[in-house]
């Protein structure tokens, strides 16, 4: 899934599959799966490319809540790929 970058101020409001940087320089992402919240990428290395896309490493793992399975995948040059 191709993602969209959406930078913002203090209020984090990302749609499914979007990522962005807040005004303090912290990167955030919302995995491309319905029902998962937006999460900070502070435990990841984020590489920003010349075209504005990012690559995140290691892989992103969102733990499931209330019986939902976890989402596990990669964000590489702005493209989401599920494991």
What's the CA gap between 28 and 22, in Å, rounded? 8
Delimit the domains of the chain by residue range.
Answer: 4-82
Classify 72 as helix, strand or coil.
strand
Instruction: Compute φ and ψ for 78, nearest 5 degrees.
Output: 80, 10
pLDDT at 52: 93
pLDDT at 6: 78
- For 14-68, what is the HEC assignment? CCCCEEEECCCCCEEECCCCCCCCCEECCCCEEEECCCCCEEEEEEEEECCCCCC
pLDDT at 34: 82
* Tens digit of pLDDT at every position of the chain (83 positions): 788 887 777 767 899 999 999 989 999 999 998 878 889 999 999 999 999 999 999 999 988 777 677 899 999 999 999 99
pLDDT at 12: 76
What's the CA gap between 17 and 38, in Å, rounded? 9
């Amino acid at each position: 899934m191709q993602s969209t970058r959406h930078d913002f101020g203090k209020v984090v409001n990302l749609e499914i599959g979007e990522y962005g940087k807040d005004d303090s320089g912290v990167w955030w992402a919302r995995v491309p799966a319905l029902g998962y919240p937006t999460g900070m990428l502070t435990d990841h290395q984020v590489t920003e490319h010349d075209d504005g896309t990012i690559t995140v490493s290691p892989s992103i793992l969102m733990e499931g809540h209330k019986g939902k399975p976890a989402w596990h995948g990669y964000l590489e040059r702005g493209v989401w790929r599920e494991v």
